Chain A
Amino acid sequence: MNGRMMWATTTRVLQQLKGDPRSIALILVVPAILLAFVYWLFQNETLPPGVPRTFDRVGLMMLGIFPFVVMFLVTSITMLRERTSGTLERLLTTPIHKGDLLFGYALAFSIMGALQSLVATGVAYWVFGMTIEGATGWVVLISVLTSVLGVALGLLCSAFATTEFQAVQFMPVVVIPQILLCGLFVARDAMNSVLEGLSNLLPLSYAVDGLQQVAKNTVVTSALVADLIVVACFVVAGLLLASLTLRRKTA
């Protein structure tokens, strides 16, 4: 690993993004707009006193899910372009370490993911008055972590696609099952044992569980810490597996 090459990669990816203001706007604004939709969706619900709004529950989970989805898509397509344009092959003839390239990518998109999470969380709190027990900082942290998770899985999945058309098809395969099983629609312990078992294997489930821990508790629970560690392990595993898919020699 070489910090200078990693940083050069991060800078380069951000420079590429800078030349594309529309993508920046989409990355930063879309999750906030979707959050607004969720808010309006549950605007007219009538609740018995003392019961938290559905928005506080669903909107909170969305803060973890949106960054994951957006970053997964952005990363898998960008990395695929790198593979198909020949720049990857050229880069791999230079002294750059595969880790420098992947972590450089991960860092650049994580910066974007963090900004996106800040915007979405800010909108949820200040515009829609989201109220939860735990500290906002943990929500932002989990949100950033899921965006990094999206980056790691996106980098990995790009290896299994040969065209951009195939790359977007990975979204129904990789992303939607995680959204269905993460506890957003049905609590995980209320699922049948097969689905619950499956849900336990998917990283997004732990991120959403972490958000629920923050929502219910004013203090940091050990379950929250465990959730964060599990997601972080998925991130590292994703990046390591992705580095195995970068080959300096091809047939």
Chain B
Amino acid sequence: MSHRAAPPPTNPAGGTPARQPGGDVQEAAVVVENLAVKRGKNLVLEDVSCSIPAGRITGLLGPSGSGKTTLIRAVVGVQRITAGQVRVLGRPAGDATLRHDVGYFTQAPSVYRDLSVVDNVRYFGAMHGKGRSDAAAALEAVGLAGFERRKAGDLSGGQFNRVSLACALVSKPQLLVLDEPTVGLDPVLRADLWHRFATMAAAGTSLVISSHVMEEASHCDTLLLLRDGHLLAQLTPGELRSQGRTDDLELAFLRLIQAAEAPTDTSGAETEGARP
């Protein structure tokens, strides 16, 4: 049960909840339209448009430097954008009212090293009016129960990462945006977390999770494949497998990239992984 089976493209929902992934705009947690981000002279994101379904896990995948973090920062509303627009839960990204509803886990764990584990989580919880029990639940969720009194800076890298994750979970946001949350975690814990993400999505939370490990894509309902600042494709893991004609998601992604680059007519960024 912990493994969310990749649904076939025609019937995307395995458990068939009310919502359809990638459905109409009403159901989208995030709508990105023609987003461009320039940092200095570099165009980090170019003409990215996508719709992130509510109550689902959306995986943001691509090699490092492909613009994953920039897209995530744009969704959270901390990224100054050059063109286009990002709407989150029906409001413009970065809107003051969204700060209650969006949880953000940065790639570099951003917690206070000189503060105890539980004090870190309680502090970020306090910003959302959450109390001790919420902090305890968040720590339980990331497998850090029993580490409450330890100083965050004294923990191992993976544990430290999980403190940061607990700080994002504690507010129980409607939209949880996680930038590479499973980096440096052991396989058992990784599986555990993905299971927890699935439970959260089933309870109605929308999750956007970035990763550069393609095998993690199988845990997601929808995939956004980024490369060099362009959105290569938005599809389900099942569609990726069939389009790449392999069960190996990594290989499928590679074939998609090759297919996108191979055609002589450079018709545009969104080739949607068209095969010859």
Chain A interface (Cβ < 8 Å from any Cβ of B): 4-5, 8-9, 11-12, 15-16, 19-20, 85-87, 89-96, 248-251
What distance in Å separates the Cβ of B222 from its nearest Cβ neighbour in chain A? 23
Task: List 3 A-B pairs, minimum CB-CB distance, nearest first.
Answer: A86-B110, A8-B126, A94-B127
The answer to whether B128 touches A16 (Cβ under 8 A) is no
The answer to whether B94 touches A249 (Cβ under 8 A) is yes
B-chain residues with CB within 8 Å of residue A9 when the two chains form the complex: 123
The answer to whether B77 touches A87 (Cβ under 8 A) is no
B-chain residues with CB within 8 Å of residue A4 when the two chains form the complex: 126, 129
The answer to whether A250 touches B78 (Cβ under 8 A) is yes
**Contact of B116 with A by CB under 8 A:** yes
**Contact of B80 with A by CB under 8 A:** yes
The residue from B77, B94, B110, B123 contacting A8, defined by CB atoms under 8 A apart? B123
The answer to whether B99 touches A95 (Cβ under 8 A) is yes
A-chain residues with CB within 8 Å of residue B77 when the two chains form the complex: 93, 248-249
The answer to whether B167 touches A95 (Cβ under 8 A) is no
The residue from A12, A19, A86, A94 contacting B99, defined by CB atoms under 8 A apart? A94
The answer to whether A250 touches B80 (Cβ under 8 A) is yes
What distance in Å separates the Cβ of A190 from its nearest Cβ neighbour in chain B? 46
The total of Cβ contacts below 8 Å across the A-B interface reads: 77
**Contact of B147 with A by CB under 8 A:** no
User: Please, how many angstroms separate the alpha-carbon atoms of A16 and B79 in the complex?
Assistant: 29
The answer to whether A94 touches B106 (Cβ under 8 A) is no
24 pairs across A/B with beta carbons < 8 Å?
Answer: A4-B126, A5-B126, A5-B127, A8-B126, A12-B112, A15-B119, A19-B114, A87-B110, A89-B78, A89-B106, A89-B110, A90-B106, A93-B77, A93-B102, A93-B104, A94-B124, A94-B128, A95-B96, A95-B100, A249-B78, A249-B79, A250-B78, A250-B80, A251-B79
The residue from B39, B99, B114, B129 contacting A16, defined by CB atoms under 8 A apart? B114
Q: Which of B100, B113, B127, B151 has the most CB of A within 10 A?
A: B127
User: Please, how many angstroms separate the alpha-carbon atoms of A248 and B93 in the complex?
Assistant: 12
User: Please, how many angstroms separate the alpha-carbon atoms of A9 and B104 in the complex?
Assistant: 19
The residue from B40, B78, B128 contacting A92, defined by CB atoms under 8 A apart? B78
Q: Which of A11, A89, A93 has the most CB of B within 10 A?
A: A93
